[in-house]
Structure 1
Amino acid sequence: MDDVDRRLLDVLREDARASVRDLADRVGISRANAYARIARLREDGVLRRFTVDVDPRALGLGLPAYVHVRIKQNSWKSFRDRVVALEEAEHVALVAGDFDCVLLVRARDADHLRELVLGRIQALPEVVATQTVLIFAEHGRGAGGG
């Protein structure tokens, strides 16, 4: 990875649909060089996929929250499989600390969030306890507002 690769990645983060010609022009290299670098970045696993960034608020999911979850010992895989099936769960991570997992969820409103946490997440057989943290503002790549 050199500075040219990093600039290519920056352009792709802004617009993953940019053409190779546009990438080359914006980074200041030839199209052949841009094509070869993108192919290498994909082969090396740096570029894992090209994706679409959907604004959750446009889908009516304007209330984000982190749900910290304590789970039964040795139940991570089954818990993870159940949680990723929830349409409101955007991200799930196994973490160290007071809780075992952190979920980023997005709900329509407080009633929907309550039903999601109390009715569906806490009802999972692996769950021992939860703590919900509302997100007031987000910032970063793919964050929904600020």
Structure 2
Amino acid sequence: MDDKDRFILESLRENARISTATLGRELRVSRATIQNRIDKLVAQGVISRFTIELGDTSDETAIEALVLLKTSSVDTRPLIIKLRKIKNLVSFTSLNGDYDFALELRSKSTVELDEILAEIRSLQHVLETNCSIRLKTFL
């Protein structure tokens, strides 16, 4: 990965809708070159998915929760595969410290959230979860 790739990544972080033509003009390369670089970053796993971040007014009825998860397994790869398939998973991060993973969930109701949490807690090697419902986002 070179400086142009880093510029592309940073630009996409700031504005995921930025066009390849605009990026090409800024880097003084063709739109096709930008697209090829993005495709290469995807193939290398540098970009793992394309998504959107919803604004505060997008769905006021949605429940967002952060779930901290502690495991009993040294090899967490099988658990990671299962966790990635969890319904309504927004983000999934490994951590150091008291908990091994942080999951961000979005559900339509507390009942649906409870069902998702029950599914997570039933997975083999899940020792403990700590769920907090997001009240307000400041940034």
Q: TM-score range by the shorter chain?
A: 0.5 to 0.7
Inter-partner Cα distance in structure 2 for 1:79 and 1:52: 23
- Report the TM-score when normalising by structure 2: 0.67
Q: Which residue of 1 aligns with 2:19?
A: 18
Q: Which has the larger radius of gyration?
A: 1
Task: Note if contact 2:66-2:133 (Cα within 8 Å) is conserved in structure 1.
Answer: yes
Q: Which residue of 1 aligns with 2:105?
A: 105
Match of 2:112, SS state, is helix
Q: 1:28 and 1:67, CA in 2 relative to 1: closer, same or farther beyond 3 A?
A: closer
Count of paired positions: 134
Task: Note if contact 1:69-1:100 (Cα within 8 Å) is conserved in structure 2.
Answer: yes
Q: 1:47 and 1:18, CA in 2 relative to 1: closer, same or farther beyond 3 A?
A: farther
**Identity level (%):** 16
Q: What code does the residue aligned with 1:108 have?
A: K
Task: Note if contact 1:80-1:92 (Cα within 8 Å) is conserved in structure 2.
Answer: no
Q: Deviations over 1:42-90 (max 9, x none)?
A: 6476963672426498689821111111111325112111111112222
Inter-partner Cα distance in structure 2 for 1:106 and 1:122: 17
Q: Deviations over 1:82-108 (max 9, x none)?
A: 111112222222211111221111111
CA RMSD of aligned residues (A): 3.5
Q: What code does the residue aligned with 2:129 have?
A: T
Match of 1:122, SS state, is helix
Inter-partner Cα distance in structure 2 for 1:47 and 1:125: 29
1:1-146 equivalence runs, <5 A? 9=9, 11-13=11-13, 14-16=15-17, 18-20=19-21, 22-25=22-25, 27=26, 29=28, 32=30, 35-36=32-33, 39-40=36-37, 43=40, 48=47, 51-53=50-52, 55=54, 62-117=62-117, 119-138=118-137
Q: 1:39 and 1:93, CA in 2 relative to 1: closer, same or farther beyond 3 A?
A: same
Q: Deviations over 1:15-64 (max 9, x none)?
A: 446242x4345x384x53x6546645664769636724264986898211
Q: 1:114 and 1:93, CA in 2 relative to 1: closer, same or farther beyond 3 A?
A: same
Q: What code does the residue aligned with 2:111 have?
A: D
Inter-partner Cα distance in structure 2 for 1:127 and 1:50: 26
Task: Note if contact 2:11-2:18 (Cα within 8 Å) is conserved in structure 1.
Answer: no
Structure 2 residue runs of 5 or longer lacking an equivalent are none
Match of 2:116, SS state, is helix
